[in-house]
A and B are shown apart, each in its own frame.
Chain A
Amino acid sequence: MKVGILYSRIRKDEKLLLNELRERGHDVVKIDVRKLNFGLSETPEVLGELDVVVDRCLATSRSVYATQFCEAYGVPVVNSPDTAQTCADKVQNSLALEGAGVPTPETKVAFTKDAAMEAIESFGYPCVLKPVVGSWGRLMAKIECESAAEAILEHKATLGHYEHKVFYVQEYVDKPGRDIRVLATDGEPVAAMVRSSDHWLTNAAKGAETDEFELDDEAKELVEKASDAVGGGLLGVDLMETDDGYTVHEVNHTVEFKSLNDAVETDVPATVVDWLEVKAGAKQEQEVFA
């Protein structure tokens, strides 16, 4: 197949994918989105004739728009722009999960400091304040007391980008020092790992220790539901364990998997490419029969 990789930086994740695709003899076209401009109707030459485009943009904003253009040009793209849009924004992500009946931490959104303070007080301390866009655990605040809440809200309102004036307040989930990252293709788990840390943030990007995790039926079912809720695709589903079962706090759409690949027996890039081949094959069949 002829596969395009949308990127702006080649991380180890992209290298793993590129190597796997090339080893299988696929025709790979690397597409640096920083060098493209997107017209409303005319497909950029580099995007034409591709069986599938894989969005691996490092920047969420680029991912959201570039995938929309691919779809507008009729170029098959994974993940879909709808999935990107939903996953890119924590508010939309939470609404999608809640709407699909996926257990997710209780969340409130407010647009002013006073309203955010009310939301924080309603949860009590500690609670969590997150940016609506962002990743790698950046700018996340575990708020332990009223004075800290006031200070953080003041900083965000004064110093932040307008998006930081959308206050996303969430209950603090007292997880057992770890959370679970599941990589899934259209809801089918590829592999899963726990990310453990003494810190309340257990992101791999924050240096959490990783270990393979065997999913039980409840977790598998939630991964499928969470994937469907955001439109499916190649996704990173993040779960936390609670006394009442799992809660899904986030679904990621340009998921990084290098840590997962190191932690598990499964050949992650190979399984992802298996899935891509099926996606591209299905598209070709549709075209033949159309």
Chain B
Amino acid sequence: MAECVQCGADVTLHDNAEVGEIVDCTTCGAELELVDQNPPVLDRAPELEEDWGE
């Protein structure tokens, strides 16, 4: 469990969540990134960039 930085709601994380993984806040819909694991810390996910993905 971690706290959403946008709305403060509790966000449930998967058991095997990795640092760098993106999770959605089910309360406010914010896209969040897991930036630390012990204890779990969430930050706002980076905005989509044009050169992302293949």
Contact = CB atoms under 8 A, between A and B. Distances in A.
Q: Does B bind A?
A: yes
Interface of A: 7-10, 14-15, 18-19, 30, 32, 58-61, 88, 131, 133-136, 138-139, 161, 205, 236, 252-256
A30 B20 contact: yes
Contact of B22 (A9, A19, A133, A254): A9
Nearest to A58: B52
A138 B18 CA distance: 28
Contacts of B33: 9
B49 interface: yes
Contacts of A7: 20
A205 B53 contact: yes
A236 B53 CA distance: 12
Contacts, number: 58
Contacts of A15: 16, 18, 21
Contacts of A138: 50
B54 A255 contact: yes
B51 interface: yes
A134 B19 contact: no
B35 to A, nearest CB: 9
B19 A254 contact: no
B51 A134 contact: yes
Nearest to A236: B54
Contact of A135 (B22, B46, B54): B54
